[in-house]
Amino acid sequence: MGDFAGMALVKLVGTKPLTTTEIQTLLDIVHRAFELPQAIVRASNRDPGATLFLLSYLELTTQDEGIKSSIANEREYVTAQCRLVSSPALQ
């Protein structure tokens, strides 16, 4: 699924205020969307632009340090997963 999930979540969230539970649910969805990067068929969905935008937005909307840490961890995870499929050794 990849960045397609990020794009869909950006549209879904809009400017609506989110609870900590809702943010955690979004992070879970993002994590699953990038779990198997080699299974992301469309090359454009391997570029996490919308997902990284979403994570930045979520980080700005919360004061909860635990959630901010989870967002930072998810950003690192998504970036690392995308590097896996862009590595020349894997192609």
pLDDT in tens, 37-63: 999 999 999 999 999 999 999 999 999
Tell me the average pLDDT of the chain: 93
**Domain membership flag for residue 16:** yes
* pLDDT score, position 88: 53
Q: Is the pLDDT of residue 90 over 60?
A: no
Domains of the chain: total? 1
Q: Is the pLDDT of residue 91 over 50?
A: no
* pLDDT score, position 36: 94
Element (DSSP H or E) covering residue 50: helix 49-61
**Domain membership flag for residue 32:** yes
**Domain membership flag for residue 91:** no
* pLDDT score, position 87: 58
What pTM value is reported for the model?
0.91
Find all residues with CB under 8 Å of 67, minimum gap 6, and list them. Answer: 20, 23, 24, 58
Domain carrying residue 64:
3-86
**Domain membership flag for residue 76:** yes
